[in-house]
């Protein structure tokens, strides 16, 4: 099956509209609210933060995903997280959903919510509701509307993140092949250590798919995409990833885990990986994307742990920022991942666009050409790979370097 | 029992001598090797890094501690870690121990070794052995010799760390009370996340104590002292903590876990906590010591996990550097510690020298006086406490802030 990148994001799939506005929540001179709307009710799947402290919109969305399983609109604000806000926070979720429902003529429990920003303060609910009314009147299915929405949900992000793909579901049941589209947007730059990460992510698709299968596909895709990135090891209170499927592609609904399901899952993986890697590369203050691939692990879970340990290491992150090929730090981070392996047999490499350097082999750090290392470490993406020589399982994790700007951004985030 | 601080470090206890020298391993214009020697053979206990990748001297010491249990000398170098050096690294340990044994007239397997610095390069073994010979000829039991030794093992540390205490073992078996002394030194500033941490620590005592009890005391003390600090979450390849007890205080040997054992353990706790907190406060680039106390936890292990999670959070560390009372980040870090609790009942406070501010209570971030918060966050030590309202277990962890200088130091460590 061929998965093709197509322009756009959340409005790339049929029947999805978006809007955004400057509601004046926190930032001056920029938009800070976004709305998504589907012409038809959508099957919805979601994954949420594992943090014990869950923001009000996370509790709101989780209830809808678990108990209802369908939705038709999403409203997101940036600037204030609506977390650690107690009953007041939950009441504000209900108010936001109510005014959205009235404006769009849909039930309040088909409105999903997302917030990102400072933990603690209450939402300025009057401005939120005024924003909802304005956005409901300006919904558009253009790619520009989707692009604008992806900008409106940014906090410390330096670039907006969106992605869309198209693929053909194979002919089945006497029907011909059907083109299905998926698009998505996400935000996230700091407090990123998924499980979920401090991220909001929204994927829309016109695929017709059973709700339980949609949730299963998402749950299978997240461990190797969004959950394999880290900016700073901090798992946020607000992480939310939602997938909305409105069925408007007209395919025979995917109701069993067969070939069509695998096609859909491959396309969902492509969108989620693209959005996740974009978040890692736009980590707060980042100048490099770090990619760590582990091969030859005994289990998939161990491969993930080892890769995650390296991209989470402050010392590895700082060395990439400094373009310093202090490769012992990568080895050290593998060593404290909580996975048993034999240091005498593993092989560690630094991968550049045009050349590969062996850093460690036969139990010893290897001599390497410092100039070549400096050249590789000067590329925007810095990739390492390590063969554990234990089996055939592999995993890749993505992170970013630790820079002065990360400290600057987070030393004074509220002001 | 009263534990009194006394001057000095590793030479404060009876019968311990120290020496140091500039062996020219890496640094110019400073000492980089230290030697400890006891007039009598010592019972020895140790804890070592849990990193799968263990430096050669860690493997060397672990074998002596486990299989022999006695030792009489320690040789330490700074600048090169002798880690990821394979068989060559082990052979250099043997050579160093051999030349130490010859110079001091003791068996080679009574010589413990420690190395700290860059991972990968081989030790300049000729310079190491020349240093050993010079140090063997200049051993001294003065406090100055101990002080000099604690400086010689520093890497990116900005201050040397040492500590000594004295206490009286209660009268027993017809004997009168006996004064016992413990002293120690440690180094560690980056790659600090114990389990053990990137640290070398050496505690000497003139107490007569059974070897198994000495190991038991150390194993009981480490979880609440050295293992409760973190600078950057990176568990090193070289972490080593050794306790040497030569029995020269003349007390009736402690052979059972009774009152005398508890006295000794309390004194060992005092020394280990002092050295650990000094390391946390001297974290690379640090401008603040961060202390997180958790009370009211259901289990001791959960209390430790919660406290550790906060001092390990990059966002908490950056906010303390920026003197920004962004208290939601402390709450968030508690939430992803992997411990279940009820966010609606916990209470979080910021503790200053003269005042206390409530940050979070009744499920909501509380309003607080920003000027008062700024004043507290301007103190050298920034302390938080959180009551989990689940039980009676407590723990304290220590860390430091994340600063521009941390990034600078670690972006270019090798040069």
Q: In this predicted model, what pLDDT tens digit does every residue of B320-341 receive, in sequence order? A: 988 888 888 898 889 888 899 9
Q: Which of A133-147, A234-248, A360-374 has the lowest mean pLDDT?
A: A234-248
Contact list in B for residue A407 (CB cut-off 8 A) is: 318, 321, 402-404, 406-407
The answer to whether B410 faces chain A, any CB pair under 8 Å, is yes
The answer to whether A329 faces chain B, any CB pair under 8 Å, is yes
Is there a single domain that holds both residue B334 and residue B237? no
Neighbours of A91 (CB within 10 A): 14
Cβ distance A336 to B406 less than 8 Å, yes or no, reads no
Instruction: State the residue range of the domain holding A358.
Output: 289-411
Task: Name the minimum distance, in Å, from the CA of A248 to any CA of chain B.
Answer: 39
Task: Give the pLDDT confidence of A99-119 residue by residue, as tens digits.
Answer: 999 999 999 999 999 998 888
Q: Which of B262, B281, B300 is the last residue of a domain?
A: B281
Residue ranges of chain B whose pLDDT lies below 50: 194-197, 415
Neighbours of A155 (CB within 10 A): 22
> Starting at the edge strand that comes first in sequence, how are the strands of the sheet with A381-387 ordered?
A364-365, A356-361, A347-351, A381-387, A289-297, A393-400
* DSSP conformation class of A270: H
Q: Highest-confidence range of A130-144, A389-403, B144-158, by mean pLDDT? A: A130-144
* DSSP conformation class of B94: H
HSE-CB of B217 using CA atoms within 13 angstroms: 35
Is there a single domain that holds both residue A301 and residue A162? no
Cα gap B89→B80, rounded to integer Å: 11
Whole-angstrom CA distances from B281 to A65, A252, B165, B287 are 46, 63, 20, 8
* DSSP conformation class of B170: P
The answer to whether A310 faces chain B, any CB pair under 8 Å, is no
Tell me what pLDDT residue B235 has: 64
Cα gap A165→A270, rounded to integer Å: 8
- Which of A239, A327, A335 to mutate to probe the B interface, most B CBs <10 Å? A335
Is there a single domain that holds both residue A318 and residue A377? yes
Strand pairing category for A111-118 and A70-80: parallel
Residue indicated by tokens 């994954």 = A47
Burial of residue B39 (number of CB atoms within 10 Å: 0-12, 13-18, 19+): middle
Task: Give the pLDDT confidence of B10-45 residue by residue, as tens digits.
Answer: 999 999 999 999 999 988 889 999 999 999 999 999
Give B 367-386 residues with CB within 8 A of chain A. Answer: none
* DSSP conformation class of B32: -
CATH of the domain at A85: 3.60.70.12
Residue of A nearest to B117 (CA): A328
Distance of CA B35 to the CA centre of its chain: 18
Could you give the 3-state DSSP secondary structure of residue B98? helix
- Domain total of chain A: 2
Is there a single domain that holds both residue B257 and residue B326? no
Selected catalytic residue, list B156, B198, B204, B403: B198
B105: CB partners within 8 A, 6+ apart: none
Q: Is the complex ipTM more than 0.85?
A: no
Contact list in A for residue B340 (CB cut-off 8 A) is: 52
Positive or negative: CA dihedral A55, B324, B275, B138: positive
Task: Name the minimum distance, in Å, from the CA of B266 to any CA of chain A.
Answer: 30
Q: Is pLDDT at A175 greater than 60 in this prediction?
A: yes
Nearest to A120 among B232, B234, B327 (CB): B327
Give B 115-154 residues with CB within 8 A of chain A. Answer: 118-121
Q: Which of B224, B249, B281 is the last residue of a domain?
A: B281
Residue of A nearest to B236 (CA): A332
Is there a single domain that holds both residue A210 and residue A297? no
Contact list in A for residue B312 (CB cut-off 8 A) is: 233
The answer to whether A5 faces chain B, any CB pair under 8 Å, is no
Cβ distance B232 to A85 less than 8 Å, yes or no, reads no
Task: Name the minimum distance, in Å, from the CA of B399 to any CA of chain A.
Answer: 14
Burial of residue B394 (number of CB atoms within 10 Å: 0-12, 13-18, 19+): middle
Please list the residues that pair with A232 across neighbouring strands. none
Cα gap A293→A295, rounded to integer Å: 7
Residue indicated by tokens 């007041």 = A88
- Which of A347, A407, A412 to mutate to probe the B interface, most B CBs <10 Å? A407
- Active-site residue A198, yes or no? yes
The answer to whether B403 faces chain A, any CB pair under 8 Å, is yes
Give A 23-62 residues with CB within 8 A of chain B. Answer: 50-54
Closest residue by Cα to residue B288 from B331, B324, B262, B259: B324
Contact list in B for residue A410 (CB cut-off 8 A) is: 314-315, 318-319, 322, 402
Tell me what pLDDT residue B194 has: 43
Cα gap B98→B113, rounded to integer Å: 11
Cβ distance A88 to B410 less than 8 Å, yes or no, reads no
Find out whether A198 and A368 touch, Cβ atoms under 8 Å. no
Distance of CA A170 to the CA centre of its chain: 28
Residue of B nearest to A336 (CA): B51
CATH of the domain at A385: 3.10.20.340
What six digits make up the tokens of B137?
Answer: 């000829």
Tell me what pLDDT residue B197 has: 37
Tell me what pLDDT residue B189 has: 67
Q: Is pLDDT at A292 greater than 90 in this prediction?
A: yes
Nearest to B332 among A119, A329, A333 (CB): A119
Cβ distance A234 to B332 less than 8 Å, yes or no, reads yes
Find out whether B36 and B149 touch, Cβ atoms under 8 Å. yes
Please list the residues that pair with A42 across neighbouring strands. A71
- In B22-158, DSSP assigns E strands to 33-48, 70-80, 111-118
Contact list in A for residue B407 (CB cut-off 8 A) is: 318, 321, 402-404, 406-407
DSSP A367-386: P--HHHHHHHHTSSEEEEEE
- Which of B120, B324, B412, B414 to mutate to probe the A interface, most A CBs <10 Å? B120
Is there a single domain that holds both residue B20 and residue B113? yes
pTM of the entire structure?
Answer: 0.77
Find out whether B39 and B58 touch, Cβ atoms under 8 Å. no
Across the range A158-171, mean pLDDT stands at 87
Nearest to A233 among B50, B119, B314 (CB): B314
Nearest to B413 among A195, A326, A333 (CB): A326
Task: Name the band, by pLDDT with cuts 50, 70 and 90, for residue A314.
Answer: confident
Selected catalytic residue, list A100, A198, A225, A293: A198
Is there a single domain that holds both residue A175 and residue A114? yes
- Which of B52, B80, B388 to mutate to probe the A interface, most A CBs <10 Å? B52
Q: Is pLDDT at A194 greater than 60 in this prediction?
A: no
Is there a single domain that holds both residue A317 and residue A222? no
Closest residue by Cα to residue B286 from B393, B104, B119, B157: B157
Cα gap B138→B140, rounded to integer Å: 6
Task: Name the minimum distance, in Å, from the CA of A288 to any CA of chain B.
Answer: 13
B115: CB partners within 8 A, 6+ apart: B55, B56, B57, B76, B77, B78, B80, B81, B82, B83, B123, B238
- Which of B55, B84, B89, B347 to mutate to probe the A interface, most A CBs <10 Å? B84
Give B 199-228 residues with CB within 8 A of chain A. Answer: none
DSSP A121-179: PPP-HHHHHHHHHHHHTT-B-SHHHHHHHHHHT-SS-SS-EEEEEEEEEPPBTTB--EE
Is there a single domain that holds both residue A276 and residue A307? no
The answer to whether A333 faces chain B, any CB pair under 8 Å, is yes
Contact list in B for residue A233 (CB cut-off 8 A) is: 233, 312-314
Cα gap B102→A270, rounded to integer Å: 65
* SS3 per residue for B289-344: EEEEEEEEECCHHHHHHHHHHHHCCHHHHHHHHCCCCCCHHHHHHHHCCCCCCCCC
Is there a single domain that holds both residue A324 and residue A208? no
Tell me what pLDDT residue A332 has: 84
The answer to whether A365 faces chain B, any CB pair under 8 Å, is yes
Cβ distance A52 to B341 less than 8 Å, yes or no, reads yes
Residue indicated by tokens 């059974």 = B210
Nearest to B412 among A118, A121, A324 (CB): A324
The answer to whether B312 faces chain A, any CB pair under 8 Å, is yes
Is there a single domain that holds both residue B146 and residue B207? yes
The answer to whether B288 faces chain A, any CB pair under 8 Å, is no
Residue of A nearest to B404 (CA): A404
Is there a single domain that holds both residue B253 and residue B348? no
Task: Name the band, by pLDDT with cuts 50, 70 and 90, for residue A191.
Answer: low
Task: Name the minimum distance, in Å, from the CA of B271 to any CA of chain A.
Answer: 27
Cα gap A383→A353, rounded to integer Å: 9
Tell me what pLDDT residue A195 has: 39
Q: A29-59 burial string, b = 16+ CB within 10 Å, else e?
A: eebbbbbbbbeebbbbbbbbbebbbbbbbbe
Could you give the angle at the alpha carbon of A202 between the alpha carbons of A199 and A203, nearest 5°? 135
Q: Which of A281, A302, A327 is the last residue of a domain?
A: A281
Contact list in B for residue A81 (CB cut-off 8 A) is: 328
Find out whether A375 and A327 touch, Cβ atoms under 8 Å. no
Please list the residues that pair with B111 across neighbouring strands. B73
């Amino acid at each position: 099956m061929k998965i093709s990148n197509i322009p756009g994001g959340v409005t790339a799939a049929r029947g999805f509209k978006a809007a955004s506005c400057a509601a004046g929540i926190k930032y001056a001179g920029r938009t800070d609210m976004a709305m998504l709307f589907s012409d038809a009710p959508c099957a919805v799947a979601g994954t949420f933060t594992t943090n014990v402290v869950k923001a009000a919109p996370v509790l709101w969305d989780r209830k809808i995903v678990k108990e209802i399983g369908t939705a038709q609109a999403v409203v997101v604000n940036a600037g204030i997280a609506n977390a650690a806000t107690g009953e007041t926070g939950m009441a504000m979720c209900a108010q936001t959903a109510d005014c959205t429902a009235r404006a769009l003529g849909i039930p309040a429990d088909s409105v999903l919510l997302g917030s990102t920003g400072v933990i603690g303060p209450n939402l300025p609910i009057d401005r939120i509701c005024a924003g909802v009314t304005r956005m409901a009147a300006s919904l558009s299915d253009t790619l520009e509307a989707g692009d604008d929405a992806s900008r409106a949900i940014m906090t410390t992000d330096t670039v907006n993140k969106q992605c869309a793909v198209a693929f053909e579901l194979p002919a089945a049941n006497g029907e011909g092949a059907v083109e299905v589209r998926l698009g998505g947007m996400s935000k996230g730059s700091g407090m990123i250590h998924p499980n979920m990460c401090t991220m909001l992510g929204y994927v829309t698709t016109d695929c017709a798919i059973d709700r339980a299968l949609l949730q299963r596909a998402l749950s299978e895709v997240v461990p190797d995409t969004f959950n394999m990135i880290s900016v700073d090891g901090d798992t946020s209170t607000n992480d939310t990833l939602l997938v909305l499927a409105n069925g408007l592609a007209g395919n025979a609904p995917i109701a069993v885990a067969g070939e069509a399901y695998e096609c859909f899952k491959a396309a969902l993986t492509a969108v989620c990986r693209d959005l996740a890697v974009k978040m890692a590369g736009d980590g707060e203050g980042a100048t490099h994307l770090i990619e760590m691939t582990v091969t030859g692990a005994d289990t998939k879970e161990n491969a993930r742990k080892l890769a995650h340990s390296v991209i989470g290491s402050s010392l590895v992150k700082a060395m990439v920022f400094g373009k310093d090929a202090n490769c012992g730090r990568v080895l050290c981070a593998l060593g404290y991942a909580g996975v048993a392996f034999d240091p005498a047999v593993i092989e560690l490499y630094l991968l550049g666009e045009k050349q590969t350097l062996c850093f460690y082999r036969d139990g010893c750090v290897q001599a390497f050409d410092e100039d070549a290392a400096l050249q590789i470490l000067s590329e925007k993406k810095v990739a390492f790979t390590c063969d554990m020589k234990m089996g055939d399982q592999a995993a890749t994790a993505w992170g970013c370097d630790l820079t002065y700007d990360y400290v600057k951004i987070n030393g004074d985030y509220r002001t």
